[in-house]
Structure 1
Amino acid sequence: MTQIFDESGNVVPVTVIEAGPCHVLQLKTQERDGYEAVQLGFGDKPRRLASRSERGQVAPLSSKRAKKQAAAGVEASAKPNCEPKKFVRELRGSIEGFELGQEVKVGILADVKSVDIVGTSKGRGYAGVMKRHNFAGQRATHGVKKVHRHTGGTGCSAYPSRTFKGMRMSGQYGAAKVTQRNVKVVKVDEENNLILVYGAAPGPNGGFVVVKATNMV
């Protein structure tokens, strides 16, 4: 996160996201897959670190199976012929205007006013109820001994003799998929493939996110 100044001199808090260039790795069609989607990849991955399946996704590989299919007259699927990617995601929607291997840059969002940002929130490990659910904790006076940050009673006596589902307790906090809806686009820097969005975005610095035009009015 950082801040910029608008035309009136007001401070605007923004998150800077490097949005591209991305390559179109695959196009899903209604006839073949039952739905339409564009599969995008971001960030080149060294081939020595990429698995065989990752390398085979972007370029044809020689194998016994490929030779056998070629001998039988089976046409191999087209490949984008680019480097393996670190981050691959599929976005459902119309594939009109997209081609296999096409380079998609941030300029595609130049006229978009608001976006949805999908990322993985910061992992905070196993957390107590005060940190995880903003509980007040117990009293710091008489009668409370070394349990000031504990949950306290969870109700339920002889009847119904159980704890209800959804009871807020300590547990794993963060490291979950988060979607931030209808985030305002402040600026698009096509030259440096950057998009500046208002406020915070889910995840740590350097984390991967998916940015797409919002469907909220």
Structure 2
Amino acid sequence: MTQIFDENGLVIPVTIIQAGPCIVTQIKNEKTDGYCAVQVGFGEVAENSLQKPNLGHLKKIGAPPLKYLTETRLKQNTDVTLGQILTVSSLNVGQKVKISGKSIGRGFAGNQKRHNFTRGPMSHGSKNHRQPGSIGAGTTPGKVIKGKKMAGQLGNKQISIKNLNIVHIDVEKNLLVLKGNVPGKTGNLLKIHPM
């Protein structure tokens, strides 16, 4: 993330994303696969870093070895072709996009950090500072009810942020400048959905 200034001198918080180039590696349709989807590859790597089935799949269409393959479902087949290279040139400044990706993983976290619970009294004699407290009734129902907010994994979940404005596009370097923040940390893999 960084910030830029607009024509009026106002500061705009932006995120710079390297978007592509991505290659269309497979097109699925109702007849053969039972649903419509497009598989896209990104991140060229050396041949010996991929398994043979993946290499064969990519060699069929004449694509270089790609580290990441992802599939996006479609309502109907679009005008994309096999082997087509997708770049930021298909997007426009001012257009809104949806960004999906994994949020930052914060490991195993307690109730205060994960669910914003209050702590117990800190006075002398209290032995309940950061404990969860009661987690359910006794004999009836005799179990912890599903969905109870407790300590556990915080972050590292798939998150989508909608309606992010495109502020600037650099076609030569495949850079996309979006107003606002995106999920995850630096180097995270993101999906860009035009809206």
State if a TM-score over 0.5 links the two structures: yes
SS in structure 2 opposite 1:54? helix
Q: Paired residues, what number?
A: 194
Residue 108 of structure 1 corresponds to: 90
3-state SS, counterpart of residue 57 of structure 2: helix
Alignment of 1:119-130 (within 5 A): 119-130=101-112
Q: Which residue of 2 aligns with 1:73?
A: none
Within a 5 Å distance, the mapping from 1:83-102 to structure 2 comes to 83-93=64-74, 94-102=76-84
Contact 2:93 2:169 in 1 (8 A): no
Contact 2:3 2:12 in 1 (8 A): yes
Tell me the equivalent position of 2:162: 181
Structure 1 alignment gaps of length 5 or more: 60-78
- Specify the SS of the correspondent of 2:48: coil
Q: What percentage of residue pairs aligned between the two structures are identical? A: 40
Of structures 1 and 2, the larger Rg is shown by 1
The Cα of 1:154 is off from its aligned counterpart by: 2.5
1:75 equivalent in structure 2: none
What does 1:146-161 align with in structure 2 at a 5 Å threshold?
147-161=128-142
Q: Are 1:163 and 2:163 an aligned pair?
A: no
Distance 1:144 1:189 in 2: 59
d(CA) in 2 for partners of 1:82, 1:46: 13
User: Contact 1:44 / 1:84 at 8 angstroms: preserved in 2?
Assistant: yes
Change (3 A) 1:124 1:87: same
Gaps of 5+ in 2: none
The answer to whether the Cα contact below 8 Å between 1:87 and 1:208 also exists between their aligned partners in 2 is no
CA distance 1:111–1:96, shift in 2 (3 Å)? farther
The SS at the match of 1:48 is helix
The equivalences for 1:13-162 within 5 A come to 13-59=13-59, 79-93=60-74, 94-110=76-92, 113-145=95-127, 147-162=128-143
**1:178-197 Cα distance to aligned partner (Å, 9 max, x none):** 12222222222222111122
For 1:102 and 1:58, the matched residues in 2 are separated by 13
What do residues 85-105 of structure 1 show as CA deviations (whole Å, max 9, x unaligned)? 112111222443211111110
Runs of 4+ that moved beyond 6 A: none
* C-alpha contact 2:92 2:166 (8 A) present in aligned 1: no
Matched letter for residue 3 of structure 2: Q
Task: Tell me how large the CA RMSD over aligned residues is.
Answer: 1.7
Change (3 A) 1:148 1:104: same
| Structure 2 CA distance for partners of 1:181 and 1:143, relative to 1, 3 Å | farther
Q: Structure 1 111/95 Cα, relative in aligned 2: closer, same or farther at 3 Å?
A: farther
